């Protein structure tokens, strides 16, 4: 995707998904290449132990309101993956994803078959566009379909990845809570109560104010 026009826009890459082999992540070896990316690890065998966190963290950026419009692209299967993930977030009552049109939407939800370069170890990627005042203006999510197939992600796993990506769209960051959908190597977790509380707090607090670590 090209850089959004306008000097006052910045792009933040919030999420990508990496492979974990036998509990050893490739995150450290490619951190410099990914720069602003926060990484979610594809799990092949088993999850490594992680520390518990009381809350799900969020950054300084958010949408003006807890509501965005979206469009779906890609195959029928992945449209359904996104639709299911959207229903899960909408059911929390803290944020709403509303269908938009090709001409009028804030978020694009799609797929990519890329497997090389920065996509080599990714299962999903979220990009957000924001103004200097930290309000999001646009976002794009891609699920990397070939990698999901290669590492045998089930339909349920794919939904959890989509829920994680939508969490980044909302403004959430990676959590160390082993039960959070925002766990960096999440494959199996659904949206947790801590995630819901974080979204509520994110949209109660002014833009520019992040969660305390």
**All domains of the chain, ordered by start, with CATH?**
9-204 (3.40.390.10)
Q: Which of 75, 99, 74 is closest to 86 using CA atoms?
A: 99
DSSP secondary structure of 34-57: HTT--EEEEESS-PPP----SS--
Residue keyed to tokens 């104010």: 209
Question: What does pLDDT average to over the chain?
Answer: 81
Q: What is the rounded distance in angstroms from the CA atom of residue 208 to the CA atom of residue 131?
A: 11
pLDDT of the chain along its 213 residues, tens only?
A: 332 323 334 455 546 555 443 343 444 444 434 333 434 444 433 333 444 445 899 999 999 999 999 999 999 999 999 999 999 999 999 999 999 999 999 999 999 998 887 777 778 889 999 999 999 999 999 999 999 999 999 999 999 999 999 999 999 999 999 999 998 888 999 999 999 999 999 999 999 999 976
Element (H, E) at 199: helix 193-204
Q: What is the rounded distance in angstroms from the CA atom of residue 85 to the CA atom of residue 213?
A: 27
Q: What is the rounded distance in angstroms from the CA atom of residue 73 to the CA atom of residue 145?
A: 13
Q: What is the rounded distance in angstroms from the CA atom of residue 101 to the CA atom of residue 13?
A: 24
Spatial contact of 41 and 25, defined as CB atoms under 8 Å apart: yes
Q: DSSP 3-state assignment of 18? A: strand
pLDDT at 52: 47
Per-residue pLDDT reduced to its tens digit, 164-192: 999 999 999 999 999 999 988 889 999 99
Q: What is the rounded distance in angstroms from the CA atom of residue 92 to the CA atom of residue 203?
A: 14
pLDDT at 6: 33
Q: What is the rounded distance in angstroms from the CA atom of residue 28 to the CA atom of residue 86?
A: 31
What is the Cα gyration radius of the chain? 16
pLDDT at 56: 97
Sign (positive or negative) of CA dihedral 139, 31, 123, 165: negative
Q: What is the rounded distance in angstroms from the CA atom of residue 33 to the CA atom of residue 205?
A: 33
């Amino acid at each position: 995707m090209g850089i959004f026009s306008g000097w006052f826009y910045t792009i933040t890459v919030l999420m990508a998904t990496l492979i974990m082999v036998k509990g050893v992540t490739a995150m450290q070896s490619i951190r410099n290449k990914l720069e602003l990316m926060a990484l979610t690890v594809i799990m092949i065998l088993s999850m490594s132990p992680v520390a518990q966190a009381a809350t799900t963290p969020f950054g300084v950026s958010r949408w003006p309101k807890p509501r965005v419009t979206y469009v779906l692209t890609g195959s029928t299967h992945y449209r359904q993956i996104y639709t299911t993930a959207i229903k899960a977030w909408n059911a929390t009552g803290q944020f709403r994803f509303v269908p938009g049109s090709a001409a009028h939407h804030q978020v694009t939800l799609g797929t990519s078959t890329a497997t090389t370069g920065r996509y080599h170890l990714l299962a999903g990627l979220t990009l957000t566009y924001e103004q200097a005042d930290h309000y999001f203006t646009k976002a794009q999510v891609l699920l990397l379909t070939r990698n999901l197939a290669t590492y045998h992600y089930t339909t349920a796993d794919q939904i959890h990845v989509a829920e994680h990506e939508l969490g980044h769209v909302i403004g959430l960051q990676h959590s160390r809570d082993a039960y959070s959908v925002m766990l960096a190597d999440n494959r199996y977790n659904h949206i947790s109560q801590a995630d819901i509380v974080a979204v509520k707090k994110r949209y109660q607090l002014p833009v520019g104010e992040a969660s305390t670590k």
